[in-house]
């Protein structure tokens, strides 16, 4: 047997954090729902990025919303990161993907650290920490352990917290993940593409940018003191779309000198120029969820001329990791862009 590739090691690492993972499914973001709609570029978008999605007036999109967990069991009401994978379809057999999640920063700055992090995040048995213990954690400037969900006996929180307490770079994302809660709707969360990408403007200037989707209906999480409900997000989305479209504004922050271009653990200052790049209007749940959503394979490095990956080592490693995962789970090869 040859040595495992980085892609294989990454996929096996994320899979190892979810012992009930089912072959043939995504190793993370396992439970999801596909919806279709359109993206309409803003008037200024094409000045900042000449990629096809930002020049055309309107184009079809496919979006898959997901819970972050790699467990096949749907626990919508549990505190968890959520995902939003978008495929822009500008026509002529082209496609561009944008993968985003509800955390603005990532846990680690490079692949080696991520492999260590996933080891630390292996599930262990959990108990609710006493208020005294939480207080002691805070006095020691350590992150207190989030309470387990009702019925949850194992999770990776303790390991993640211990990792973040040893490695300052993970603190921001681990702390936010611990407090993130559950959205009342997939259409009521902000999703961040996290990494820096390089866009080329109509003036030929290349700019470092970060993208996020802002929900037009506003952000809202469930009441953390109310009992968590296992399943509601898919039905809520179906009901919402039956009443009208769900919309998101694509915002793009432009990086400046000194900003962390290749480190997804570090936030950019909030005062960076933000450009409204366009409006996403989701119209309906995809009819054939298996063929047109579960078997689809998104990839954050599937881009179009005018937008390129930065030198962020996590982003670059994700290209082959997603392809490996999709081959393993028998996803349909992307019919667009030779993907």
Binding site for ligand HEM (CB under 6 A): 10-11, 14, 26-29, 32, 64, 66, 83, 85, 99-101, 106, 114, 193-194, 264, 297-298, 314, 317-318, 321-322, 325-326, 329, 331
Q: Are 49 and 307 in contact (CB under 8 A)?
A: yes
| Nearest by Cα to 39 from 189, 297, 211 | 211
The residue count of the chain comes to 339
Distance of closest approach, residue 57 Cβ to ligand HEM, in angstroms:
27
Closer to ligand HEM by Cβ: residue 190 or 326:
326
Question: Please, which residue, 274 or 295, has the CB nearer to ligand HEM?
Answer: 295
Q: Which among 117, 12, 126 is positioned nearest to 70, based on CA atoms?
A: 12
Q: How far is the CB of 32 from ligand HEM (least distance, A)?
A: 5
Strands 197-200 and 124-125, sheet pairing = unpaired
Query: In this structure, how many other beta carbons lie within 10 angstroms of the beta carbon of residue 227?
Result: 8
How far is it, in rounded angstroms, from Cα 215 to Cα 199? 23
Q: How far is the CB of 281 from ligand HEM (least distance, A)?
A: 19
CA end-to-end distance (rounded Å), the chain: 28
Considering the complex, state which of residue 50 and residue 185 has its C-beta at the smaller distance from ligand HEM. 185
Nearer to ligand HEM, 64 or 302 (CB): 64
How many whole angstroms separate alpha carbon 182 and alpha carbon 186? 9
Q: φ, ψ for residue 334 (rounded to 5)?
A: -60, 120
Q: Are 36 and 286 in contact (CB under 8 A)?
A: yes
For residue 234, give the DSSP letter.
Answer: H
Nearest distance in Å: CB 203, ligand HEM? 28
Host H or E run for residue 320: helix 313-328
> 246 is written with which tokens?
């769900």
Shortest distance (Å) from residue 165 CB to ligand HEM: 21
The crossing angle, in degrees rounded to 10, of helices 6-16 and 111-120 is: 20
To ligand HEM, the closest distance from the beta carbon of 292 in angstroms equals 12
Contacts with 91 (C-beta within 8 Å, 6 or more apart), sequence order: 56, 59
Decide whether 114 or 213 has the Cβ nearer to ligand HEM. Answer: 114
Closest to ligand HEM by CB, 80 or 129: 80
For ligand HEM, the closer CB: 145 or 317: 317
Kindly state the smallest distance separating residue 147's Cβ from ligand HEM, in Å: 25
Instruction: Tell me which residue has its CB nearest to ligand HEM.
Output: 83
Min dist CB 275 to ligand HEM, Å, is 19
Residue 46 vs 299, nearer CB to ligand HEM: 299
Whole-number Å distance between alpha carbons of 215 and 329: 31
């Amino acid at each position: 047997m040859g040595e495992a590739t980085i892609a294989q090691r990454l996929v096996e690492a994320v899979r190892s954090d979810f012992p009930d993972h089912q072959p043939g499914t995504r190793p993370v973001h396992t439970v999801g729902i596909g919806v279709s709609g359109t993206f309409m570029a803003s008037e200024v978008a094409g000045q900042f990025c000449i990629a096809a999605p930002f020049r055309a007036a309107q184009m079809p999109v496919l979006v898959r919303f997901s819970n972050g967990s790699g467990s096949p069991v749907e626990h919508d009401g549990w505190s968890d990161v959520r995902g939003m994978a978008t495929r822009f379809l500008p026509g002529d057999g082209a496609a561009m993907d944008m993968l985003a999640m509800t955390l603005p920063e990532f846990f680690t700055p490079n692949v080696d650290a991520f492999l260590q992090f996933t080891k630390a995040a292996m599930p262990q048995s959990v108990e609710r920490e006493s208020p005294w213990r939480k207080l002691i954690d805070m006095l020691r400037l350590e992150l207190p352990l989030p309470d387990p969900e009702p019925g949850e006996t194992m999770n990776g929180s303790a390991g993640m917290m211990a990792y973040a307490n040893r490695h300052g770079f993970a603190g921001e994302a681990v702390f936010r993940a611990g407090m993130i809660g559950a959205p009342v709707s997939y259409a009521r969360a902000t999703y961040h593409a996290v990494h820096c990408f390089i866009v080329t403007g109509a003036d030929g200037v290349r700019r470092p940018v970060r993208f996020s989707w802002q929900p037009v209906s506003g952000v809202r999480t469930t009441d953390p003191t109310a009992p968590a409900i296992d399943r509601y997000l898919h039905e809520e989305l179906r009901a919402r779309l039956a009443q009208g479209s769900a919309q998101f504004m694509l915002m793009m922050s432009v990086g400046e000198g000194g900003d962390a271009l290749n480190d997804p653990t570090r936030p950019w200052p909030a005062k960076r120029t933000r450009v409204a790049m366009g409006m996403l209007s989701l119209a309906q749940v995809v009819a054939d969820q298996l063929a047109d959503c579960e078997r689809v394979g998104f990839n954050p490095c599937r881009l179009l001329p005018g937008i390129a990956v930065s030198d962020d080592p996590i982003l670059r490693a994700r290209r082959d990791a997603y392809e490996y995962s999709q081959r393993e789970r028998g996803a349909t090869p992307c019919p667009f862009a030779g993907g």
